[in-house]
Amino acid sequence: MVTTPHGTVRGRYEQGVAVFRGIPYAAPPVGPRRFRPPEPPEPWDGVRDAGAFGPTAPKPPYSEAFAQYLADPAVAGDDCLNLNVWTPEPGPAARLPVLVWLHGGALTRGSSGVPVYDGRTFARDGVVCVSVNYRLGVEGYGLFPDAPPNPGLRDQLAALRWVHETITAFGGDPGNVTLCGQSAGAISTGALIAAPQTQGLIRRAVLQSGPPEASERDRVRRMVRRMATRLKIPATAAAFAAVDRDLLLRTQAEVGRLSSPVLGGPAFGIVVDGDLVPRDPLQALIDGEAARGVDLLMGWTRDEYRLWLVPGGLVEHVNRLGPVALAGAMARCHVGHEVPRGYRALHPDAGTAELVGQMVTDHLLRIPLHRLADARPGSSYLYEFAWPSRLPGLGACHALELGFVFDTADVPESAKLAGEGAPQELCDAMHSAWVRFAATGDPGWQAWDATHPVRIFDDDVPHIAYGPRDTEIDLWSAAPTVPEPSPASDIRAPGAELASAVRRLRRSVGARRR
């Protein structure tokens, strides 16, 4: 049993590790608290059982195409602002390093209860692991005139404050906290380390396949407005709160069907709000205004795009679209013909889907992380996960590294993406690097400098590649930027023909998905 500021919880010992699940760090976001910043939970009397995962945030299920690869358990209930703790040694004497995990899922799906995220392996190796549930979709990231922005990000901040105030009782050191996330969780991590309110709460950060970024407010507003149009209600938080939650989730899933990293389109995201996110997080971090002294471990998978395009047979479809798909990628990345021509010259045997996927990955992910590492040499470490899934077509796709980071590649939910027989040696290498970084700030390889060292995780002997993506990234600095036209732009405006191409691509892919 451990006493928290709100009451005592009883966990379980499992394989020598003490586990506490479903601990509330904020009050249930229902009634007048819906669409509002989180509030402290009501204290409880007696001992609260913490043996099972708590409720997950409301979310639609993955489509059938993605569900075959990604696990996303749902637990019913309103008390979804909860977290889990795995610790080898409860009690204030231990003062162990702490890793706080933020799950991915495009800010619309995912939870802390995915079996791949079992924190037992970190606790086994001397790190207290905390995983967090937070509000998703329109309830976490909708933009309304009558509610504050970014409630889901504010949930994460509340969880960090809970960790700072409480983790000592679980054996953790509040002065040695590593915030770690993948995909949307990494984007959230980037926003939080740049936030003024987290000063003193985070010592280190891990960004897996997600850069610090703020979404355009109009992109989020369009998502809300399209939902409001379908629901025939005003685009206000009050009106959305009156809608049946299941209907709200179905509408959200339908409106977001054409949104993806490759296609763009309206989507939920973190926005600049003048408070928790006072300016673009990436630029704040590059300028050195935020997160001084925070060590960074950042990276990507070699074939991120394959999880975006392989489900549903979209790789073959994009290859058939050929020039239309390339034009769509140019519009998505705001560049002219010079960049795709350069990629084609560097990769003459690649299909259109591979060129489009790698272009978009570089634009959205690798270039921002390069820029951030360049601004913070000596305290930044970069990696590339290059081991290919044993399932056809996936390659080293987005999210594949998760079972290796957590050393859970042997659980069935990891095998859904990796296939059977993932190499344990690679699990050991990657997991131990994350443990070492959480404990010391050094994952075990050369820090970023002018030689651009990148640790490659694959089947080979551990090795460093110097500037493995520099040739492609250099194409962008030499190419002029094509502005994105507004919806009201004249068809002859610069870039309008590319915008028309990406609209045709979205319609074509949407028809394919249906």
Q: Is pLDDT larger for residue 331 or for residue 498?
A: 331
**Mean pLDDT (whole number) for 78-95:** 96
pLDDT exceeds 70 at position 504: no
Q: What does the alpha-carbon distance between residue 358 and residue 376 come to, in Å, rounded to a whole number?
A: 25
Q: Residue 300: count other Cβ atoms within 10 Å of its Cβ.
A: 27
**Mean pLDDT (whole number) for 235-255:** 96
- pLDDT tens for each residue of 327-383: 989 998 999 999 999 999 999 999 999 999 999 999 999 999 999 999 999 999 999
Contact in structure between 89 and 168 (CB atoms under 8 Å): no
pLDDT for 392: 96
pLDDT exceeds 60 at position 505: no
pLDDT exceeds 80 at position 496: no
pLDDT for 258: 74
* Structural domain count, the chain: 1
pLDDT exceeds 70 at position 493: no
Strand partners, 290: none
User: pTM of the predicted model, to two decimals?
Assistant: 0.94
pLDDT for 264: 80
- pLDDT tens for each residue of 260-289: 787 788 899 999 999 999 999 999 999 998
pLDDT exceeds 50 at position 445: yes
Where does the pLDDT of residue 292 fall: very low under 50, low under 70, confident under 90, or very high at 90 and above?
A: confident
**Mean pLDDT (whole number) for 402-430:** 97
pLDDT exceeds 70 at position 482: no
Q: Tell me, what CATH number does 379's domain have?
A: 3.40.50.1820
Instruction: Give the number of C-alpha atoms closer than 13 A to the C-alpha of residue 352, restricted to the C-beta side.
Output: 17
pLDDT for 497: 46
pLDDT for 257: 85
Domain boundaries, position 82: 2-513
Strand partners, 99: 129, 178
pLDDT exceeds 80 at position 94: yes
Q: What does the alpha-carbon distance between residue 356 and residue 263 come to, in Å, rounded to a whole number?
A: 10
DSSP string, 320-350: HHTHHHHHHHHHHHTB-THHHHHHHHH-TT-
Q: Residue 43: count other Cβ atoms within 10 Å of its Cβ.
A: 9
Where does the pLDDT of residue 510 fall: very low under 50, low under 70, confident under 90, or very high at 90 and above?
A: low
Kindly give, in sequence order, each residue whose CB lies less than 8 Å from that of residue 419, ignoring residues fewer than 6 positions away: 389, 390, 391
- pLDDT tens for each residue of 122-146: 999 999 999 999 999 999 999 999 9
Quote the percentage of the chain above a pLDDT of 90: 86
**Mean pLDDT (whole number) for 198-214:** 97
Q: Residue 91: count other Cβ atoms within 10 Å of its Cβ.
A: 13
Where does the pLDDT of residue 492 fall: very low under 50, low under 70, confident under 90, or very high at 90 and above?
A: very low
Give the chain's mean pLDDT: 93
pLDDT for 291: 84
Listed in sequence order, the DSSP H helices in 194-322 are 217-231, 237-241, 245-255, 281-286, 306-309, 314-321
pLDDT exceeds 50 at position 432: yes
- Active site positions, annotated: 183, 304, 398
